[in-house]
Amino acid sequence: MKQALHSRWLILVMLVGLGLSLPRQQSASANPQAFSFPYNQASGINYNVTDLTQAWNEWKSAQITSNNAGGGGRLRVLGGVSNSTTVSEGQGYGLLFASLFDDQATFDGLWLFTRDYFTSRGLMHWHIGNPGQINGSGAATDGDEDIAMGLVNACIKVQQGVWPASSNGLNYCTLASTMINNIYTYEVDHAGSNPPAGLPNNQGNELLPGDSWSTATEYTQGIVNLSYFSPGYSTVFGKFTNKNTEWAAVNTRNYAITNLVQAKAGNCSKLVPNWNQYDGDVQYVSWQPEESAWWSYDAARFAWRIAIDKAWYNTSNSRETMNEIGGFFSSVGIDNIQARYRLDGTSVDNYRGVFFVANAAAAIWAAPAPQAVNCGAATASLKTTPQQAYNAVLATKDTPNSYYPNAWRLLSMLLLTGNFPNLYEMAQSGTGGTATPTITPTITRTPTATATRTATATPSNTPTRTSTGTPATITITPSRTPTATITPSRTPTVVPNLNFRMYLPFAKSNS
């Protein structure tokens, strides 16, 4: 026995001496419970965990199915364009939820379907019909980001001993690394002529809407959807793939575009519109002749994605942005939130829905020191606490079970209750999420010819996580080559995300 142990140690010493690393998925945590749902991280919100599990079970039952998914354990999320088709964004939501609620069987089934519909660049086609039928070709960045983050979560779950190795032979860590690198290569507009979807003469590091857009010929000033910008994810992606500098540059550039948008004349709300040029002006698109310029069914997600950066990394940019947007919505009052808004703070609609309530609530919760705003519907006094914001999300539901609004209801509920954790940083800290957070330094948002704004308060509701190291080297395998038949495919200029159209008739809340 002693000789066998001695031999094993010799093998390990030899591997380390050769510069080889052990597989990421083989280590286990001393505290796996910290990596299991519910996470119950400090968030300042009183809540009942059964509300979260009920929301997940309802959404899962209504939207996830094996019917017409191709067999072999595959699962798909229905909704987004029609109730019988799938969008990559929906697969991303499903993978995120399954990873957080510890539903490994559902996670694997969703991934098996997802990987069947990869582009040649290793990213998911955005709209899938019947098995083997690609209704909309080309990838959408927001869906790819959420898919990749779900894979990171799954990697950590196995690494920490919460999940067993995949019964489908999936190496979540390798899959995550490959997809993250593909997002960076093909969905970030690098300076110069790469990628094909970008501009040839841009500054660089702008986040593209997808991998197949004809930006150079049809959007010569660039096109960016800031609701796809997820800086908290980007920081994780950089650390996970040992590309910290590259992904930090993506965050710096897209926060700078945010600053340009918010500094435009007449934007007293500090909201962002659905579509922008790289200089911060509205980028009008043919399918949204007016709505391109509004805080609408795309743009509202920006609040939640920046709130993630505030919760996970407490960056100065995220604090400043949440103070501005949270201040606006608190000055409107969570019970007065309508659907779409113009940038002058006036409401477009006279109805409300949980999608807009959920994202406004995320901004109110994440704002460390909101200031009262006098702009349009915002009437110069703060009216909503984070707890009141959460209570409004809980009380508001779109019925019948609506794929998009209720997905965002659940995403908001998870974040506000401390149940959307940064599993990667928890694993790096080695404490199961009990370390003291650090404030991530960021470059001041001072683009040319714009006013600058400085946050003056310290954060008050940041979950406790800190990074203490970099991940082990991950072997990257080539992305799977798609075998699906592409039936009528869209051109890159057709809308890559139809949620705003899909839900306009159904946005009224029954709260």
What angle, rounded to 10 degrees, do the helices at 386-395 and 354-366 form? 160
Q: Give the residue extent of every domain in the chain.
A: 45-469+485-506
Cβ atoms 357, 392 nearer than 8 A: yes
Question: Where does the pLDDT of residue 261 fall: very low under 50, low under 70, confident under 90, or very high at 90 and above?
Answer: very high
Cβ atoms 60, 106 nearer than 8 A: yes
Residue 380, burial from CB neighbour count under 10 angstroms (0-12, 13-18, 19+):
exposed
Q: What is the mean pLDDT of the chain?
A: 85
Determine which helix (DSSP H) or strand (DSSP E) holds 197, and give its type and residue range: none
- For residue 505, pLDDT over 70 is answered with no
Give the DSSP per-residue string, 326-372: HHHHHHH-GGG--S-B-TTS-BS-S---HHHHHHHHHHHHH-SS---
Instruction: List % helix, strand, coil for the chain (3-state, nearest 5).
Output: 45, 10, 50
How many other CB atoms are found less than 10 A from the CB of residue 416? 29
Tell me: the pLDDT tens digits for 295-350?
Answer: 999 999 999 999 999 999 999 999 999 999 999 999 999 999 999 999 999 999 99
Contacts of 122 (CB under 8 A, 6+ apart): 178, 179, 182, 478, 479, 480
Q: What is the pLDDT of residue 346?
A: 99
pTM of the model: 0.83
What angle, rounded to 10 degrees, do the helices at 49-63 and 88-100 form? 140
Q: Which residue has the higher pLDDT, 489 or 86?
A: 86
Cβ atoms 98, 110 nearer than 8 A: yes
Contacts of 269 (CB under 8 A, 6+ apart): 295, 328, 341, 342, 343, 344, 345, 373, 375, 376, 378
Angle at 98 between CA 93 and CA 104, to 5 degrees: 145
Q: What is the residue whose two structure tokens read 């406790």?
A: 464
With CA atoms as reference, report the closest residue to 426 among 386, 468, 392, 479.
468
Question: Where does the pLDDT of residue 460 fall: very low under 50, low under 70, confident under 90, or very high at 90 and above?
Answer: very low
Q: What is the pLDDT of residue 276?
A: 99
What backbone torsions phi and psi does residue 224 show, to the nearest 5 degrees?
Answer: -140, 140
Which amino acid is it at 417?
T
Domain 45-469+485-506 has what CATH class?
A: mainly alpha
